């Protein structure tokens, strides 16, 4: 059945996932996205580890753990925090399996699409050049060139 998807059906499924992500991002605060393994999935230098290579990974999207979110036709780009390290993450819309928010008790489970070899994902193509790009809700302004390093270690004697 998946092999018989028309380009229009594929586009509609991706747009639905984009719209759903946008709804959660703008309305729910912190939410979770279950991503299944996919050849175009990139999780910074970390990648998928251990059982994640089989079952995927659940990523937390919230105002303190995510920044620089951008939507594209076939992918979502964001910087996510893993521990104290920020990693560039590229998530193909086709790899998104579930989106849920524990506080609102909502869960959406979606159709997974197999990787399409002739699908063009090689460059980021904005879904819409006038699209509103969500920003992290930190309330802090970023100043380029000034980086403050914080040591979260214990007391030094």
The two structure tokens encoding residue 20: 């759903």
Please compute the mean of the pLDDT values over residues 91-117 and round it to a whole number: 81
Range of the domain at 67: 1-157
Indicate whether 125 pLDDT > 50.
Answer: no
Averaged pLDDT, 122-151: 44
> So what's the pLDDT on residue 115?
66
- The CATH number of the domain where 6 resides is what? 2.30.30.220
Tally the domains of the chain: 1
Task: Report, as an integer, the average pLDDT of 24-42.
Answer: 91
DSSP per position, 14-66: HHHHHHHHHHHHHHSSSEEEEE---TT-EETTT---TTHHHH-EEEEE-TTTE
Mean pLDDT computed over 18-32: 90
């Amino acid at each position: 059945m998946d092999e018989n998807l028309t380009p229009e059906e594929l586009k509609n499924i991706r747009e639905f996932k984009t719209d759903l992500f946008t709804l959660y991002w703008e309305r729910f605060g912190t939410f979770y996205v279950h991503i299944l393994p996919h050849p175009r999935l990139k999780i910074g230098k970390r990648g998928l580890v251990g059982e994640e290579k089989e079952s995927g990974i659940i990523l937390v999207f919230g105002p303190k753990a995510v920044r620089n979110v951008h939507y594209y036709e076939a992918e979502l780009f964001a910087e996510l925090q893993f521990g104290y390290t920020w990693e560039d993450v590229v998530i193909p819309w086709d790899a998104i399996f579930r989106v849920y928010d524990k506080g609102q008790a909502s869960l959406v489970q979606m159709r997974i699409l197999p990787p399409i070899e002739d699908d063009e994902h090689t460059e980021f193509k904005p879904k819409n050049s006038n699209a509103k790009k969500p920003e992290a809700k930190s309330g802090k302004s970023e100043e380029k060139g000034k980086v403050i390093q914080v040591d979260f270690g214990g007391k030094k004697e």
